[in-house]
Structure 1
C-alpha cells in the first residue's frame, strides 16, 4: 500500500480514512489478527510477532504497531491473569521488566527512521533468528546466580528490539524459557513481559503522535478478531499436536522474515 507523504514518520490517518483507504488492507488486517489470535490461543504466544510481520507487508511498521497496542494489551492481560504467580514473578523478573522499559523508551523513534524501511529489515532478521532458534529446539539455561545480572541486559535488548520493530519476543522469550519455569508460570511470565513491552511501546508511539485521529478506534476494531481467534485457538489447543503446530509456526515465521528482509533491500539502496 502506497502511503501519502507525511511530515512525521509517526503521522497516521483518521479512523475513517484508514478504514476506507483500501478495503483490501482492512480485510487483510482483520484476517491477520484473527490468525495471530488463533496462534496465541494454541501456543500462548505469537500475536505481536505474526501481526507485525504480516501487516508490514501492506503498511508501515509504525501503523502496524499502533494497531497492535489494544489487542496486545487485552490478550496479554488475559494471559497474565492465569497462573496465580503474578507477585512472585514480578519480584523475580523486575530487573528484566525495568530493562524493557528503559530500552524501549531509549529507542524511541527508531521504528520511523527512513520511513520504516530499516525497521522492516530488522524485523525480518529478528523473525528469522526467532524461527531458527525455535526450529532448532534451542533450550538454553541460566544459572540462578547469574539471573540477576542477565535479566536487566535481556530486558534492555528486548526493549531496543521492541522500539525498532514492534516485536518483543527476542531475546525475552528464549531467556524466560531458560529460567526453568513451570508451564503455567512460563505462560504467565510471557504475559507479564509482553504487557510491559506493550505499555512501553504505546508510550513511544504516543509521544510520536501515532495515536492521532482514529487509530485507537481502529485498534479496537481489530481487537474483535484477535479475541475471537484466541478463543478458537484455546478451544482447539488439545486437538492438535503441539510440536507439529509449533514447527509449522516457526517455518512460517522464517519464510516471512526472509521475504521482509530480502524484498525491502531490493526496493532502494541504503
Structure 2
C-alpha cells in the first residue's frame, strides 16, 4: 500500500474470520497499527493478542471516537440493524464506508448509518485469510478517486480485487466467488467419497482429493492458459479423463448444477437486503 493511500484513521467493526483476515493483511502490508481501531466485543484471544502486539486500538468507547477516514463493516449482515445506532457516529460526511456485509445494499447501509455518503460494497472470500482472496467491489458515485484507490489498496492486501460498475452485480459476485470456496470444499468431499466407493482407504482418498484440487488450483493461478485449455491438455481422446468428463459435462452434469447453485446464492444475497 503506497504512502499516498494510507488513511489517517481506520475503524474496523467486526474482527471475525473475514475482518480478522483483512486486519492481518493490512498490518502485513505496513498499515500502522495505532492508526487502526477495532470494535468487536466478542473478539477472539488470538485477535486480541494481535492487536496488543501491533498497537491496534481495541474496543474503545465508540461514542468518544471521531469519525474515521475509513469505516470497514465486517459484522454479520443480520447484526446490522441492532449495531447501527451505536455505530452511526463513526460514519461522518467525510468517511468512506466499506461494507463486506452480504446482501446489504448501499441504500440499506445509508438507512442504517445516516451520515454515510461515500459507500463501497465489497465481497471478499475465505482465502483472504491466507492472502489469496477474490474480492468483488462496487463504489457508489460519491466515492472519490482517492477513496477508491485507498479501498483498492486495503482490499488488495488480502488478494485480488475486481470492480463492477453495477451494484446489482455484487449479488452475482457473492454467488460465484463469495460462496465459491464452499463449492470447492464440497467437491473435495465428493471426490474423496467417490474414491472410497472405488475401493481406496478413506484417509488416502481424502489426501489425494485435497492435493488434486490444491494442485489444480495452483496450476490455474500460475498458468497463462485458460481453464478450458488446461482441461483439454489433461484429456486424452478416448482416455480415462474423457470418460469421466462425459459424465460431468453431460446432461444434468456439473454445468447446470453450478448455474443453479450460483443463482441460489445470488438470490439469497438479494433477500438479505430486506
Question: In proportion to residue count, which structure has more helix?
Answer: 1
TM-score range, shorter chain: under 0.3
TM-score, length-scaled by structure 1? 0.27
Q: Which has the larger radius of gyration?
A: 2
